[in-house]
Amino acid sequence: MVQETDFPTRHRIDDLVTAWLADADCPGASVAITDDTDLVHAAGYGHRSLDPELPATPTTRYGVGSVTKTVTATAVRALVDRGALEVTDPVATYVPYFDAVPGEPVTVRDLLTHTSGMPSDDLDAHVLAATVLDTDLGVSLDDWSDFEAFLAGRSDRRLTDRQRFLYSNSGYVVLARLVEAVSGEPFREFVDRTVLTPAGMTRTTFDVGAAAGDDDVATPHLRAGADLRPATYPDHFAFEPIGGLLAPVTDVAAFLRRHIDGGSAFGAALADEAYDAQVVVRTPVGGEPVGYGYGWYVRPFDGDRLVGHSGNTGVSAGYAGFLRERGLGIAIGCAAPPRRSPETLAVELLADLTDTVLAAVSPRTALDETLDSLTGRYASDGGFHTVTVERDGPTLVLVHETPLGGQELRFRPRTLDGDEYTFGTLEDDGSETVAEFFPSPEGVDLLVDRVLVERVDGGRRATAAKRHEPPADSATRGPAVAGDRRRDRRFVLGSESSVPRAPAVPVRATAGPRPCEPNVLGKYSPRPGPRHEYGRAHAAERPPENGHRG
C-alpha cells in the first residue's frame, strides 16, 4: 500500500533538505523515501543545472558515485546464489589479479569488505584527472592490460591483516572482472539483467553518452575554490563498477526496497551477512563502531541498523540507505559534490521521521552539542585560577590564567560517555595533559591536571542522547505484515515528532517551484513554494565528511 506524506511531514522534510543544501553549498538535490512496499515521498530541490537554471525533479538522473558499489556487490551475490562461486574463493582462481601478493590469497570476501590489505592506489583520482580534468598524472589506464599492470605494480604493498579496513576502489573493479569471467557476460549486461531490471530501475544506466541526451539529467559541477563550473561525468571502463551509475532517486529507492526485504529478489544467498558488519571501519568518539558488510556500511541507529553507502564522483554525489528493522529507506542525488556528506542529510531525515533524538544517531551532532555545552568561564574557589573554554572546530581551547601567569592549551576529545568528558593534549616533552569535565544538573566542574574549577558562566546544556523506544501499542506505528520482524518498529510517516529540532539554516527564497507533490510513482506535479537559490554564503572550504571520494 502506498503511503503519502501528509502536509506537516512534507513541510519538515522540505525544510530539512533546503537547510542542508545551504549548509552543504550544493546547488540542488533530489530525495526519495520508501518503505518496504512502495515509494512514499519524492521531490526535487534547487537546481539540477545552474547554466541554464533548471529545477531538480524526483526523476532527475545523477551520478551517484560509490552507491554503485552496492549494485556491484549485489551482482556478486547473485553469482553466489547460483552456486557459481563462494565468497571464500581466491580471486586469482577466476581472474589474473592478486596472484602474486604477500600473505594468504585474496578472496572474494576480502574485496567485498575492503579487507584485502591493499592500501589506496588512488584509482579514482587517476580516472577523474584523465576524464574530467584532462590532466595527465603519468599513469596509463587506456585498457584492461594497463589496469592489470597498474594493480600488479602495487601488489607488494599489501598488508596481510584481514581485520584492517582499507577502502579499495580497485578491489571493486576486480569484482566486476570476476563477474564477467564467471557469468560469461559483459559486466553491464549482467548487472542490467540480474539487478537493474528485477528492481525496476528503468532509468538507471552506465552509459554516460546516453544519459547526456536525457532531458532530465543533472549537470555535473566541479568545485574550483568557492565556485562551481559545469563539467562532465567520469566516463571510463574502470570507473563503471566503482562509481559509474547514473540514476534517479526513484530508481535507487526501488533498489532499496528489494534490499529492505532481505534482498530476496537477488537470491537467498548472503541474505543476512551482506548487511552485517564484517569489519570495523571506525569508532566515533563517544559512539558505537561503524562497520562494513558486502558493499554496505553498517552503523547503529537507535536500536536499529542503518545500512547504506554514500558516493562522490568529484562532480556529483549520492546516498542510498535503509533501516534494517524499521524498513525505511532514503535515496539522495546531488548535482555537485556537497561540503557535507549526503549521509548526514539521510540521518537527519531518518531521525525526524522516526522520532529519534538526532544526537543519539549522529556523532557529528552529538560532538557539536557536547563541545558547545562545555564552553564558558570557569573559576576555582577564591578565584585564583580562571579557565576560559572556547570551541575551535572539533577541539576545545583552554586558557588557564592565574595572578602569576597563564597558558593556552588545545584539547581533543578522548571519551564522551555522558557522565564524564575527557580531553587530552600532547605537551612538548611528550607527556599528556588531561582535562576532565563533570557535568551535572547543578553545573559543570573541570579538572585540569590537579586544578579543579567550576563553570561560572557560559555554555549550554547538550541534548540527552537517549534511545527512543517505540510505543507499547505498535498499532500507532502504522500497518505491519504478520510475522514481519519489523512489526513493532514501524514508523508513521505523517506523525509529528515531539523532539525539538534546531532552526533551519536561513536561505534566500525566490518565487518558483521547489519540491514536487508525491503521488503515484512516476506522477508528480509541481506545487508553488519558495525554492533554494544557490549562493555562496556557505562557500568556506570544508573537507568531505565521508573521508574519501568515490
Residue 523 located in a structural domain: no
Residue 389 located in a structural domain: yes
Examine the pLDDT at 181 and tell me if it is beyond 70: yes
pLDDT per position as a tens digit, 241-294: 999 999 999 999 999 999 998 777 787 778 788 999 999 998 888 788 999 999
Residues 320 and 389 in one domain: no
Q: What is the dihedral of CA 126, 129, 134, 136, to 10 degrees?
A: -50
Residue 9 located in a structural domain: no
Mean pLDDT of 303-326: 97
CATH of the domain at 298: 3.40.710.10
When divided into structural domains, the chain yields a total of 2
Residue 2 phi/psi, 5-degree rounding, is: -80, 125
Residues 308 and 390 in one domain: no
423: which strand partners? 413, 435
Residues 186 and 300 in one domain: yes
Amino acid at 549: R
Supply the pLDDT for residue 463. Answer: 52
Greater confidence, 160 or 254? 254
Supply the pLDDT for residue 265. Answer: 74
Q: SS3 string of 232-283? A: CCCCCCCCHHHHCCEEEHHHHHHHHHHHHCCCHHHCCCCCCHHHCCCEEEEC
Under 8 Å CB-to-CB from 184, ≥6 apart: which residues? Answer: none
Residue 81 located in a structural domain: yes
* Domain with 453 in it: 376-457
Percent of the chain with pLDDT over 90: 67
CA distance 20 to 31: 12
Residues 275 and 380 in one domain: no
Inter-residue contact 418 to 465 (CB < 8 Å): yes
How many beta carbons lie within 10 A of that of residue 383, not counting itself?
A: 11
Supply the pLDDT for residue 213. Answer: 87
392: which strand partners? 395
CATH of the domain at 428: 2.40.128.210
Supply the pLDDT for residue 4. Answer: 58
Residues 409 and 266 in one domain: no
Residues 230 and 310 in one domain: yes
The residue among 457, 473, 492 that closes a domain is 457
Supply the pLDDT for residue 478. Answer: 34
Residues 172 and 317 in one domain: yes
Examine the pLDDT at 499 and tell me if it is beyond 70: no
Residues 211 and 119 in one domain: yes
Residue 524 located in a structural domain: no
Sign of the CA dihedral with 322 first, then 328, 332, and 338 last: negative
The residue among 457, 472, 506 that closes a domain is 457
139-153, 311-325, 499-513, 531-545, range with greatest mean pLDDT: 311-325
Greater confidence, 492 or 415? 415
The residue among 365, 393, 428 that closes a domain is 365
Residues 293 and 401 in one domain: no
Mean pLDDT of 61-74: 98
Q: What is the mean pLDDT of the chain?
A: 84
Residues 209 and 143 in one domain: yes
CA distance 484 to 336: 39
CA distance 59 to 249: 7
Mean pLDDT of 377-391: 96
Residues 327 and 423 in one domain: no
Residue 305 phi/psi, 5-degree rounding, is: -125, 130
Under 8 Å CB-to-CB from 307, ≥6 apart: which residues? Answer: 259, 275, 293, 296, 297, 298, 321, 322, 323, 324
Residue 242 located in a structural domain: yes
Residues 216 and 349 in one domain: yes
Inter-residue contact 107 to 117 (CB < 8 Å): no
pLDDT per position as a tens digit, 441-496: 889 999 998 999 999 998 765 554 443 333 333 333 333 332 343 333 333 343 33
Residue 226 located in a structural domain: yes
Helix (H, G, I), strand (E, B) or coil at 117: coil
Residue 66 located in a structural domain: yes
Helix (H, G, I), strand (E, B) or coil at 427: coil
